[in-house]
A and B are shown apart, each in its own frame.
Chain A
Amino acid sequence: MRAVTGTALWLVRLLYLAFALFPLLWLLRIALTPDEILYREGTTLWPSRTTLANFAYVIEESPFPVFFANTIVVALGTAAAVTLLAAGIGYAFSRFRFRGKSALMVFLVITQLFPIVMVITPLYQLLAPIGLVDTRIGLILVFTAFNLPFAAFLMHSFYEGIPAELEQAAMIDGCTRFQALVRIVLPLMLPGIGATVGFVFTAAWSELLFSLMLITSESKKTFAVGLLGFVGKSGVDWGQMMAAATLALIPPAIFFTLIQKYLVGGLTAGAVKA
């Protein structure tokens, strides 16, 4: 009976993996297929011949390296700003009683209800006079504003998982509130911080709509906007587009590898009796 459920579980996992990874395989397949046989060979799982020409073009001849650099700056900047702010907001919501707290939390949820397209024009008009349109700083500001509510909620729920008594014990043991925060709460919050940074980084990394509207200079484009450049009048250059998209997966992959050890929860286990 046990063995059967075990096997079934593995089958389900495999199925899910196949489902999740298939688009990636397809991405790679098209990126590696030489242009001249892409349409000729029809739909096969793997082309008869592969080439790195598309990658070479993207890296050496296209402006994509600049797009990548822009995206990294914007995504890291956003992740840093949002995480710092959300850490503070989440803490306040979790630990302090203050007037209008629940109203404020509801308000944060409400901001998430509006479709982004609604605010693009007003946002443009807001940013244009102060010279923030077509700047990376402007983009970071906008991303930060839009990711902050959810990130604050995420952080809040992680703080809620850390009993307030831990800080109180530390304060009795001799800490100031700030010391208790740094020496007790911060180490326990690493999974929460990791999750928030990861979430915000990914969101900023692949954002398209704002970038498209707010960035006009070629030198400041992010890669998501850059990808659209492959859609030409005469058609779509699939091979190059997929090569660029494949490359775009690498930074988030590296990033998640770096933070994954902080994503693993369970550190708080044993603080209190469950």
Chain B
Amino acid sequence: MAEVTLKGVAKSYGRTPAVREFDLDIADEEFVVFVGPSGCGKSTTLRMIAGLEDITGGEIRIGDRVVNDLPPRDRNISMVFQNYALYPHMTVRENQAFGLRLAGRAKEEIARKVARASGILGLDPYLERRPAALSGGQRQRVAMGRAIVRDPDVFLFDEPLSNLDAKLRGQMRTEIKKLHEKVRTTVIYVTHDQVEAMTLADRIVVMRDGRIEQVGTPEEVYHRPVSDFVASFIGSPPMNLLEGRIVAEGDAPAVALSGGPVLPLGPGHARLPAGASVTLGLRPEAIAPQGMAGPMRRPFAFEADITLVEPLGGEALIFLALGDREMTARVFRPPARLAPARGVQFLVDLAEASVFDGGTGRRLGDDGAN
């Protein structure tokens, strides 16, 4: 059980910075997910917390200890690697017991802890097998078993599910979540899969180029992304990002999409100067053909062509062309007659709109008053 605190943590390889000025407070028992595109420094940050990578600046605390100069073995952490890193010459039982044996624990204690972990993870039938004789999913479980037997202060996961097929990935995701309910321990979990991030995290840390782009609950990150980068990274299909210009429309501002309609903004965006170039962000589920839309706070009607429909069973993705741009809408319980068509009436809930600076991509306005 421990908090983890990173203060101005930085890492460079030679002259290339991999992680810069990383500040984060992780609460005890919190499940934090680092997410971001490939190469943004997620693994590097995790490995610095583990002690597998020296830090070039800043301070890392686990509990009340500064661990900057402690070797991995003195940090009381466990880590699950993307490739599992099971000891190939040891059985499943030995793999799990290895850390406890090193720590010189009593035989009975080791047996009890291994039995408990194996029970939780359903490993009992495989205890005497070597990793080579296990499936990918089973190996994954052994790696988790090896991590939990040691009752660490912090669990570190580096893309633990990315080597599994989609179905197994979904199952293991649920299991990891359940596991966290059972063994309440601080978890830091790295992934580039935003679905994993959304479903598992208490808080999501979105990273970009070695920096934190946004920290927040899944809801915050989803509904109030701080930048068009976060907006396009979180959510699937991603948020529709439409370029436009602020125009004054009476006393409230509006966004004139280039070659498209003028969409009035809420009072939260009242201070945006006319002429400013912006990017308007609309979640696919905030858009729907008239008649299929749920309740909306500030609906706005427009006409567009449906170019393609992707039915997904309980929901459907509708691709629509508005002037020269493409948007995606997501509707739930789609009717069977949904098909490409011209001049369809759509509704969009502008209360759900995000506005980003056209140049910097930063979020503009105070959405509270949207």
- Asked if residues A271 and B86 are in contact (CB atoms below 8 Å), the reply is yes
Interface 0/1 of A175-214, CB less than 8 Å to B: 1100100001001100000000000000000000000000
Given contacts A270-B130, A273-B163, contact A176 B85 (CB under 8 A): no
Does residue A173 face the partner (Cβ distance < 8 Å to B)? yes
Given contacts A166-B87, A188-B88, contact A173 B133 (CB under 8 A): no
- Asked if residues B52 and A270 are in contact (CB atoms below 8 Å), the reply is no
- Asked if residues B89 and A176 are in contact (CB atoms below 8 Å), the reply is no
Given contacts A174-B103, A188-B89, contact A273 B98 (CB under 8 A): no
Q: How far is the CA of A188 from the CA of B131 in the complex (A)?
A: 14
- Asked if residues B85 and A272 are in contact (CB atoms below 8 Å), the reply is yes
Closest to B87 in A: A184
Q: How far is the CA of A88 from the CA of B140 in the complex (A)?
A: 32
Closest to A268 in B: B88
Interface size class of A (residues with CB under 8 A): 20 to 34
Does residue B132 face the partner (Cβ distance < 8 Å to A)? yes
Closest to B13 in A: A97
Does residue A171 face the partner (Cβ distance < 8 Å to B)? yes
Stretch at the interface among B75-83, B111-119, B288-296, B300-308: B75-83
- Asked if residues B131 and A271 are in contact (CB atoms below 8 Å), the reply is yes
- Asked if residues B85 and A165 are in contact (CB atoms below 8 Å), the reply is yes
Does residue A92 face the partner (Cβ distance < 8 Å to B)? no
Closest CB in chain B relative to A100 CB, distance in Å: 14
Does residue B99 face the partner (Cβ distance < 8 Å to A)? yes
- Asked if residues B73 and A273 are in contact (CB atoms below 8 Å), the reply is no
- Asked if residues A175 and B163 are in contact (CB atoms below 8 Å), the reply is no
Q: How far is the CA of A176 from the CA of B51 in the complex (A)?
A: 12
Given contacts A188-B88, A273-B136, contact A175 B73 (CB under 8 A): yes
Interface size class of B (residues with CB under 8 A): 20 to 34
Closest CB in chain A relative to B341 CB, distance in Å: 46
Does residue B93 face the partner (Cβ distance < 8 Å to A)? no
Closest to A187 in B: B89
Closest CB in chain B relative to A71 CB, distance in Å: 35
Interface 0/1 of A135-171, CB less than 8 Å to B: 0000000000000000000000000000101101111
Does residue A172 face the partner (Cβ distance < 8 Å to B)? yes
Closest CB in chain B relative to A127 CB, distance in Å: 42
- Asked if residues A271 and B85 are in contact (CB atoms below 8 Å), the reply is yes
Does residue A269 face the partner (Cβ distance < 8 Å to B)? yes
Closest CB in chain A relative to B81 CB, distance in Å: 5
- Asked if residues A173 and B84 are in contact (CB atoms below 8 Å), the reply is no
- Asked if residues B72 and A172 are in contact (CB atoms below 8 Å), the reply is yes
Q: How far is the CA of A165 from the CA of B81 in the complex (A)?
A: 7
Closest CB in chain A relative to B332 CB, distance in Å: 37
Q: What chain A residues lie within 8 Å of B88 (beta carbons)?
A: 166, 188, 267-271
Q: How far is the CA of A87 from the CA of B139 in the complex (A)?
A: 30
- Asked if residues B85 and A168 are in contact (CB atoms below 8 Å), the reply is yes
Interface 0/1 of B51-90, CB less than 8 Å to A: 1100000000000000000011101011101011111110
- Asked if residues A173 and B99 are in contact (CB atoms below 8 Å), the reply is yes
Given contacts A269-B132, A270-B133, A273-B139, contact A173 B85 (CB under 8 A): no
Q: How far is the CA of A267 from the CA of B90 in the complex (A)?
A: 10
Q: How far is the CA of A176 from the CA of B71 in the complex (A)?
A: 8
Given contacts A168-B72, A173-B150, contact A270 B134 (CB under 8 A): yes
Q: How far is the CA of A176 from the CA of B102 in the complex (A)?
A: 10
- Asked if residues A171 and B52 are in contact (CB atoms below 8 Å), the reply is yes
- Asked if residues B77 and A172 are in contact (CB atoms below 8 Å), the reply is yes
- Asked if residues B99 and A174 are in contact (CB atoms below 8 Å), the reply is yes
Does residue B330 face the partner (Cβ distance < 8 Å to A)? no
Q: What chain B residues lie within 8 Å of A172 (beta carbons)?
A: 50-52, 72-73, 75, 77-79
Q: What chain A residues lie within 8 Å of B78 (beta carbons)?
A: 172
11 A-B contacts (beta carbon < 8 Å)? A163-B85, A168-B72, A170-B87, A171-B51, A171-B52, A172-B52, A174-B99, A176-B71, A271-B86, A272-B84, A273-B136
Chain B positions within 8 Å of A, measured between CB atoms, are 50-52, 71-73, 75, 77-79, 81, 83-89, 98-99, 102-103, 130-134, 136, 139, 146, 150, 163
Name the 4 nearest CB pairs between A and B, nearest first. Answer: A270-B132, A272-B83, A173-B99, A165-B85
Chain A positions within 8 Å of B, measured between CB atoms, are 163, 165-166, 168-176, 179, 184, 187-188, 267-273
Q: A171-B71, A270-B88 are in contact. List 20 more A-B contacts (CB 8 A).
A: A165-B85, A168-B50, A168-B52, A168-B85, A169-B146, A170-B87, A171-B51, A172-B79, A173-B150, A174-B99, A176-B71, A187-B89, A188-B88, A267-B88, A267-B89, A269-B132, A271-B85, A271-B86, A271-B131, A272-B86
